[in-house]
Amino acid sequence: MGNALRFLCAKCCEPSPESDSVGHHGVTAETVGVSALAHDLYNFEITNQVPQELGKHVVSSRKAQSNWYKKLAVAWRETKPPPKSAEEASRLVIQTLKRHQKADVEVSDRISFIPLGIMSTIYIILIALLVKGLLAFYGLPLHHTLVDLTTGPPPSHSQPQGLKFELHTIPVDPKAVADGDTITVYVSVEDSRESANVPREVQVAAVERANARAQRNYDRADELHKHIIDAGYRVINLQNEEVLAKKYRIRLRGIDAPEGKMPFGQEAKDELVKIVQNKCLRVLVFDEDRYGRCVGDIYCNGIFVQESMLKKGLAWHYKAYDRRPELDKWEKEARAKRVGLWSSSNPEMPWEWRKDRRQGR
């Protein structure tokens, strides 16, 4: 049976060397892969044709491939709303094709000697390999890299030990993400916690700036806005309405992501952007670091951001400052899957990397 499985692996899924990171059309951005899959499914429903390049990633008949796309097209159409993220698209492919019928999969005569009692296992493995090839074709996340996020935000009335205060932000600008563990957020001064603490000079400058803009004196308005920014505030256009907001720099509590120049540094930043961009966040602040950043837990639409970063292998558990066992558990899960930075045999710790740079090494 071992020889038969090796033969199946060789024949049924033959991705090109770069297939884990680049899909067809040279896809590297996962969102482009989602769009490409949606386009191909739409085109299949019109022409009944599958992409010609698919054969470079999976070895099967065009008839079998048509059966896959027929099932996927139906599943995509019935999913409301349709998949938008790479993870959602990947899950749809996996869930749809894992129910594949044996008739949709062709097996070579060279393994006809295998006893019927173990053929069902062979088919399961075969289909898994075909799914892997299809995901690689579109540059979508493979099955072992997907994570289940089970931790939702704590109840609003809860008071975790050490909590100092709570922030509710306006939608986050993607440019406000500095790296995989640091983000700048803004909180409207209409928020009950902020309204009583706005400096008088900021209030006056905001009013004068609005008057200057009404009079089209934009140079004066820009000068006033600079004073507002220097005081730690900003006037932000939100749905065609100007909102005065307080600036906070947030350091994600309990994790340390690779620095930008380190391996997986850019991937960590991109993942954090993907999670928080244009979203309102709930931030539980526990401390302030030596750089003046608030150290806190971030929740976004029911997702605990630190959990997502750890499970996807894009951050380390920062044990020197946070001993929560769940963070350690999530890091170990990513290590076991060898996802993200754990795909490297000996990833460098970001705190050691920073130390080396400070000491000139």
Q: Which of 30, 87, 209, 251 is catalytic?
A: 251
Distance CA 15, CA 137 (A): 8
What b/e readout covers 202-214, taking b as 16+ CB neighbours within 10 angstroms?
beebbeebeebbe
Amino acid of residue 128: A
Is 293 noted as a catalytic residue in this protein?
Answer: yes
Residue 72 burial by Cβ neighbours in a 10 Å radius (0-12, 13-18, 19+) = buried
Q: Which of 30, 209, 293, 307 is catalytic?
A: 293
Q: Which of 30, 209, 253, 259 is catalytic?
A: 259
Categorise residue 48: left if φ over 0, alpha if ψ from -120 to 50, beta otherwise. left
Residue 81: is the preceding peptide bond cis (ω within 30°)? yes
Nearest residue to 301 via CA among 144, 84, 91? 84
Distance CA 328, CA 346 (A): 18
Helix residue ranges per DSSP H, the chain: 2-12, 30-47, 62-78, 86-97, 119-137, 192-195, 200-214, 218-230, 265-276, 305-311, 325-337, 350-358
Cα–chain center distance at 294:
23
Q: Which residues sit opposite 340 in a β-bridge? A: none
SS3 content of the chain, % helix, strand, coil (to 5): 50, 15, 35
Residue 133 burial by Cβ neighbours in a 10 Å radius (0-12, 13-18, 19+) = buried
Distance CA 119, CA 108 (A): 13
Is 338 noted as a catalytic residue in this protein?
Answer: no
Is 348 noted as a catalytic residue in this protein?
Answer: no
CB 46 within 8 A of CB 87: no
Distance CA 337, CA 359 (A): 34
Active site residues: 251, 259, 293
